[in-house]
Amino acid sequence: MNELVILVVEDEPEVRAEVVRDLQGFAGTIRVEQADDVADARDAIDEVEQAGDRVGLIVADHRLPGGETGVDLLVSLKQGAGTGTIRTILLTGQAGHQDTIRAINDADLDHYFSKPWDPSELVAVAAGLLTDYVIGAGIDPLRYVRELDGSRLMAAFAQRGRPD
Amino acid sequence: MSGRAVVLVVDANATTGAELVTDIRALLGGLADVELVKGADEAVGAADSIHAAGGLVPLALVDLDSEAHRGADVVVALHQHPQLTATRTVLMTSRVSLHDVDEALQLGAVNGMITRPWTELGLGSLLTAQLATYLVEYAPDRLDEFGELLDDEDLTAAQERMEQQRAAPALDATAAHPLLGEPMDDTEMTRRLIELLDRALGHPARLRVAPGTIMIEEGEDVGGIYVLIDGAVRLTSHTQAGNKVMHEESTGAIVGLLSLARHRRALLGCQAVSDVRAIPITLDQLARALTIEPELGGLLTRILISSLARRLRRSQELQLELDESLAALSEARAQLVASARFTALGEMAAGMAHELNNPTAALIRSVAHLTDDVDAVIDDPSVKATILRRLDAPAMPSSELRALRRQIADAVGDRVLADRLIGCGVNSTDEALALTNADDDELKRLEASTQLAETIRNISGVAERIQSLVASLRAYVRGDDGGGVVHPGVEVTTGIDDALRMVSHRLDEVEVRREYETVPPISARPGALQQVWSNLLINSLDAMHDEGLLSIRVRTTGDAVTVDITDSGPGIPPDVQSRVFEPRFTTKDGQVRFGLGLGLSISRQIVEEHGGTIGVDSRPGHTVFTVALPVEGVV
């Protein structure tokens, strides 16, 4: 298997459906999974790992039910073993200023979108971050040349095997 | 045996001089002679011959208005003549200003002043007072001669004066300094002051002014002080807020002395508020009096201290009033700002609710029409079935969706195909396997129709949420724009749910437990009640910092509907509980904020207007606000 996964964490089904649909263009090579809240997101990550796949990007809402926020999730992933390299996008309608600061400082947040989001921008940012992840994780870049940033992936491929 | 007593009238104008002579003669009734002279030289000549004959000149009236000579020069000349030095000199003028006789005043050569046209009464009292002073000082043995002219008061004063001159030494080393002596009341001190001034200055002229007369202009040069005998004056100051009365009750007996500390510029204006009798004392007179009468300095100090103390008290009162006013003002301002802000917010919310209502209604109708149209346009029975099934199906939880995708992927052996099949609305592996042979066109059509159905369902769900938010908002603001109209069938639980929806953004970390019994609708003002529920909910959420347990219980108690709102916040200290419904009371940094302090007092007011009660019971982790509203509360 060894598939790359984008995980969308959002509690409102209508919003979740739209985010997933906006990211559906990656579905040929990158799977889009979804979760309702932080606990569900952890389950989803476990499922992905058990299947031998890896989560490359998380798109999380800030406000989530169940006691933990999207920022809490991102912070814990950043500190967790094996999840620290996952790229992160915070997608939120009303994160307080303090939460955003915490996300950037403690979760090393890669990108911040406020609702309503621009779908083409979301796709472009997601592609860039997944490209970073693929190159950083040492995954075969050729597989993602079509969906992600092809020229950077080709350059990375050309660098492979050469001494630093 | 003694010589004549002669009153001199110095007037260059024969006509006015003769009038004055006639009047004085009439008043004196032959007790003294009156002579008219034209100028200083004639006056000196007359005085010499009167003295030569053993007579005396107790009084000279000098005309100030004449063009023929400067009145001040005449006065000075008289004063410097040995035979006239003791003579009481009174100015006769039609002007009110004393400015051009300054030099005469400086010499202490002027003992009084009378303005033209004079009255018989005014002239009479002037004559008797000046005569009495002269006689006491220089010819006490002749007092009896003038007995019928002098009134009792003058005679008594004269006799006292003679007693003193005869009996007491000038200085009594054993007497306490007047500043430290026996306590005296203000009236007593003033009386004594006037007595001493009269003695030292030879009964200076009294000034009578009518109410409203400005005695001192603020900021102007002050030539002396006024000693108030009777009547009331007020001291005023020009301020930005107009003429402010600084002292009235607190004026004291001496006016103008403080100006001396300010280069003779008057500190405050002085105006008579009643008929005032005062003694104007020039600074030189004052200086002289202080030298002559050692007791005067102490007495003056004492009166001044007493007067300053009174003024200081008054100024402290003013300061306190000012502090209180400032505190009240800043409190009022804070309330005003808060209430203006919420009025503005309320109006904006009402406007928003109305503006949002129409497009939302249109949106909901459009979605319904869209559904009908899709149904009419699509012929393919399998597509139609997919759409209709998807329209009614609730959204699947993410975890189930992920499990379904895994099952289908295992069954069909292709993850991408499994994704597509789920996109086609497939709900089970059986359905998935049935579609494995479908061609790409068929799959695309099914995917699109599923997507179409889901989109319609999402739009419809979202539109309904907007509509219910708008409805809550409208219900919330109804009280404000409806002016509190009473409705007979208000559902308490609906109102609470509306208020809950308005604070839903704060409920993420809050477990809300609702226990609603079936309760009868009540007669109430719905908008006002909304305010009560919102205030109580916001108050609880503030106390809980938006996390913990919030229980809302609605039940029937006799003829009332009772609502308990319980939060798991830290609780209200017992000593504070009794005051939480007081206006402006707040446990949060003394700030006036919506839903705090003001909120609870407004809530109590509204509940009581409905004939109900509101109360609080609190211990740490458990605070209950209980509102009981009679079913027929207001009609």
CB–CB of A17 and B462 under 8 A? no
Average pLDDT across chain A, whole number: 88
How high is the pLDDT of residue B514?
94
Q: Which of A116, A101, A109 is nearest to A73 (CA)?
A: A109
Which residue on chain B is closest to A29 by alpha carbon?
B416
CB–CB of B402 and A31 under 8 A? no
Distance from CA of B505 to the nearest CA of A (A): 9
Distance from CA of B364 to the nearest CA of A (A): 16
Q: How far apart are CA A24 and CA B447, in angstroms?
A: 12
How high is the pLDDT of residue B276?
82
Instruction: Name which residue leads in pLDDT, B341 or A42.
Output: A42
CA dihedral B132, B134, B137, B139 (to 10 degrees): -90
Which residue on chain B is closest to A15 by alpha carbon?
B458
CB–CB of B399 and A3 under 8 A? no
CB–CB of A47 and B402 under 8 A? yes
Q: Which residues have a Cβ under 8 Å from the Cβ of A5 and sit 6 or more positions away?
A: A30, A31, A32, A33, A48, A53, A54, A55, A56
Question: Which pLDDT tens digit goes with each residue over B53-112?
Answer: 888 888 998 888 777 777 778 888 888 888 887 888 888 877 655 556 666 666 667 777
Q: Which of B613, B626, B612 is nearest to B567 (CA)?
A: B626
Q: What residue type is assigned to position B237 of the chain?
A: S
Question: Which pLDDT tens digit goes with each residue over A69-125?
Answer: 888 999 999 888 888 899 999 988 766 667 777 778 778 889 988 888 999 999 999
Q: Which residues have a Cβ under 8 Å from the Cβ of B315 and sit 6 or more positions away?
A: B246
Tokens of B252: 């004291």
Crossing angle of helices B294-377 and B283-292, in 10° steps, is 130
In which residue are the tokens 């009540």 written? Answer: B522
Question: Which pLDDT tens digit goes with each residue over B601-614?
Answer: 778 888 988 899 99
What average pLDDT does this structure show over B304-309? 82
Q: Is B406 on the interface with A (CB under 8 A)?
A: yes
pTM: 0.51
What average pLDDT does this structure show over B577-599? 54
CB–CB of A65 and B451 under 8 A? no
B505 interaction partners in chain A (CB closer than 8 Å): 94
Distance from CA of A96 to the nearest CA of B (A): 12
Percent of chain B exceeding pLDDT 70 equals: 85
Q: Which residues have a Cβ under 8 Å from the Cβ of B535 and sit 6 or more positions away?
A: B595, B599, B600, B602, B603
A34 interaction partners in chain B (CB closer than 8 Å): 398, 401-402
How high is the pLDDT of residue B402?
92
Q: Is B263 on the interface with A (CB under 8 A)?
A: no
How high is the pLDDT of residue A157?
84
CB–CB of B398 and A21 under 8 A? no
Q: Which residues have a Cβ under 8 Å from the Cβ of B547 and sit 6 or more positions away?
A: B509, B510
Question: Which pLDDT tens digit goes with each residue over B475-514?
Answer: 666 544 444 678 888 899 988 998 888 888 888 889 999 9
Strands in B414-509 per DSSP E = 487-490
Question: Which pLDDT tens digit goes with each residue over B115-165?
Answer: 778 888 888 888 887 888 787 777 777 777 777 777 676 667 667 766 665
How high is the pLDDT of residue A125?
95
Q: Which of B90, B190, B201, B79 is nearest to B137 (CA)?
A: B201
- B594 band by pLDDT with thresholds 50, 70 and 90: very low
For an interface test with B, the pick among A1, A23, A29, A31 (most B C-beta atoms closer than 10 Å) comes out as A31
What average pLDDT does this structure show over A123-152? 91
How high is the pLDDT of residue B625?
94
Distance from CA of B461 to the nearest CA of A (A): 8
Does pLDDT of B592 surpass 50? no
For an interface test with A, the pick among B390, B396, B398 (most A C-beta atoms closer than 10 Å) comes out as B398
Instruction: Name which residue leads in pLDDT, B211 or B319.
Output: B319
Question: Which pLDDT tens digit goes with each residue over B555-567?
Answer: 999 899 999 999 9
Answer yes or no: are the C-beta atoms of B603 and B466 closer than 8 Å.
no
Q: Which residues have a Cβ under 8 Å from the Cβ of A109 and sit 6 or more positions away?
A: A74, A88, A89, A90, A103
A35 interaction partners in chain B (CB closer than 8 Å): 398-399
Q: Is B410 on the interface with A (CB under 8 A)?
A: no
Does pLDDT of B403 surpass 90? yes
Interface of A with B (CB under 8 A): 1, 3, 13-14, 16-18, 21, 27-28, 31, 33-36, 40, 43-44, 47, 51, 63-65, 67, 94
CB–CB of B402 and A28 under 8 A? no
- CA distances for B603 relative to B337, B553, B591, angstroms: 20, 18, 18
Answer yes or no: are the C-beta atoms of A1 and A50 closer than 8 Å.
no
- What secondary structure letter does DSSP report for A157? H
Q: β-strand B622-630 against B560-567: which pairing, if any?
A: antiparallel
* CB–CB contacts below 8 A, A to B: 45
User: How would DSSP label each residue in B166-182?
Assistant: HHS-S--TTSPPTTTSS
| Minimum-distance CB partner of B419 among A27, A64, A67 | A27
How high is the pLDDT of residue B224?
80
Question: Which pLDDT tens digit goes with each residue over B372-397?
Answer: 888 888 888 878 888 888 887 777 88
What average pLDDT does this structure show over B573-581? 79
B546 interaction partners in chain A (CB closer than 8 Å): none
Answer yes or no: are the C-beta atoms of B32 and B6 closer than 8 Å.
yes
Distance from CA of A44 to the nearest CA of B (A): 7
Tokens of B614: 């509101």
Q: How far apart are CA B268 and CA B278, in angstroms?
A: 17
Tokens of A107: 């979760």
Burial B320-345 (b: 16+ CB within 10 A, else e): eeeeeeeeeeeeeeeeeebeeebeee
Q: Which of B386, B396, B403, B184 is nearest to B295 (CA)?
A: B184
Which residue on chain A is closest to B546 by alpha carbon?
A67
Listed range (A21-25, B236-240, B518-522) with the worst mean pLDDT: B236-240
Q: How far apart are CA B434 and CA B430, in angstroms?
A: 6
Instruction: Name which residue leads in pLDDT, A160 or A25.
Output: A25
Q: How far apart are CA B265 and CA B216, in angstroms?
A: 10
Distance from CA of B529 to the nearest CA of A (A): 29
Percent of chain B exceeding pLDDT 90 equals: 11
Instruction: Name which residue leads in pLDDT, B398 or B133.
Output: B398
- B193 band by pLDDT with thresholds 50, 70 and 90: confident
Of A73-82, A127-136, B216-225, which has the strongest mean pLDDT? A127-136
What is the widest separation between alpha-carbon atoms in chain B?
A: 163
Which residue on chain A is closest to B508 by alpha carbon?
A65
CB–CB of B406 and A63 under 8 A? no
In which residue are the tokens 């207007």 written? Answer: B609
Q: Is B419 on the interface with A (CB under 8 A)?
A: yes
Average pLDDT across chain B, whole number: 81
The C-alpha angle B23, B25, B29, rounded to 5 degrees, equals 120
Distance from CA of A102 to the nearest CA of B (A): 19
- Using DSSP's 3-state secondary structure scheme, residue B35 falls into strand
What average pLDDT does this structure show over B230-249? 80
What average pLDDT does this structure show over B14-42? 87
Does pLDDT of B456 surpass 80? yes
- B1 band by pLDDT with thresholds 50, 70 and 90: very low
What average pLDDT does this structure show over B575-581? 78
How high is the pLDDT of residue B520?
93
In which residue are the tokens 């998935």 written? Answer: B432
Question: Which pLDDT tens digit goes with each residue over B514-549?
Answer: 999 999 999 988 878 888 898 899 889 988 888 899
